[in-house]
Amino acid sequence: MAKYAYPAIFTKEEKGYSVAFPDIEGCFTCGDTLPEAMEMAEDALCLMLYDHEEDGEAIPTASDVKTVQGGTAEVVSLVCCDTVEYRKLYDNRAVKKTLTIPNWLNTLSERAGINFSTALQEALKAKLDIQ
């Protein structure tokens, strides 16, 4: 899970823009306007890389944007995404975890009114260095 940047080819169509990622097989999208196409490109890129991470597949190496050639009706631009942020937005379902802690820690935590779920989430985020 990380932040990624991949070159994308934005092609002006009769209506709107189509987008292709030469480094990521099967990653295509479109938009009615260039800003919409850029937003859709970020979403498509995140979804594809999220799926690669979930399936344990290797993340393709991104080409240098300077080496990607576009035609006369095309613009090549980097598209960035963050799969951690994507997970927060689209995979935020709660899961139940069973854990074991020493009784003395349980007693002190309950007396202090500590919410175990919140404490565990905060600790995991700190350990993983994510916000």
Contact between 16 and 23 under an 8 Å Cβ cutoff? The reply is no
Percent of the chain with pLDDT over 70: 99
Model pLDDT for residues 18-31, shown as the tens digit of each residue: 999 999 999 999 99
Confidence bin at 2 (pLDDT 50/70/90): confident
DSSP state for residue 61 in the 8-state scheme: P
Query: Which pTM value belongs to this model?
Result: 0.76
Return mean pLDDT, the chain.
Answer: 92
Higher pLDDT pick, 94 / 32:
32
The domain limits of the chain are: 3-90, 94-131
Q: Angle at Cα 6 formed by Cα 131 and Cα 71, nearest 5°?
A: 150
Model pLDDT for residues 44-81, shown as the tens digit of each residue: 999 999 999 999 999 999 999 888 887 777 889 999 99
Q: Which CATH number is 3-90's, of 1.10.230.10, 3.40.920.10, 3.20.20.105, 3.30.160.250? A: 3.30.160.250
Which helix (H) or strand (E) is 83 found in, with range? helix 83-90
